[in-house]
């Protein structure tokens, strides 16, 4: 199932809403390391793919999200993975500086990741 989701995410033309569902489903299976990998691959891609990845990070890390959309409890990866993800989120915000949804969600992700990343990394 994960390979099929990865294929859809990497394929061109999936509507924005579908991208979000694809990222969410893949993260439910493989956790945050999957999101990190896909964001790295799509760094310069369309804002829709990046937005889907950032929304998924929020669904995983935000403790205020409850119910069926919460992805709390999925694999977060190692501390070094979180440091890498922090850097990738910053890079997505730079690459898509003109997209307000990326700036807003990226900032939210930075706020959620900051307590989890060791200080020398920041």
Domain boundaries, the chain: 2-121
User: Alpha-carbon distance 41 to 59, whole Å?
Assistant: 20
Residue 64: pLDDT above 80?
no
Q: What is the mean pLDDT of residues 91-120?
A: 93
Q: What is the mean pLDDT of residues 40-66?
A: 88
The tokens 């995410």 sit on which residue?
9
pTM: 0.89
User: Alpha-carbon distance 111 to 114, whole Å?
Assistant: 5
Query: How far is C-alpha 52 from the chain's CA centre?
Result: 7
């Amino acid at each position: 199932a994960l390979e099929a989701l990865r294929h859809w995410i990497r394929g061109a033309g999936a509507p924005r809403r579908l991208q979000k569902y694809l990222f969410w489903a893949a993260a439910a299976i493989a956790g945050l390391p999957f999101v990190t990998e896909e964001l790295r691959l799509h760094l310069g891609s369309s804002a829709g793919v990046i937005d889907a990845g950032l929304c998924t990070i929020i669904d995983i890390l935000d403790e205020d999200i409850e119910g069926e959309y919460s992805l709390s409890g999925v694999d977060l990866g190692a501390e070094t993975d979180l440091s890498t993800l922090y850097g990738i989120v910053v890079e997505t915000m730079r690459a898509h500086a003109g997209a307000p949804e990326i700036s807003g969600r990226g900032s939210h992700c930075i706020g959620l990741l900051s307590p989890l990343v060791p200080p020398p990394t920041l």
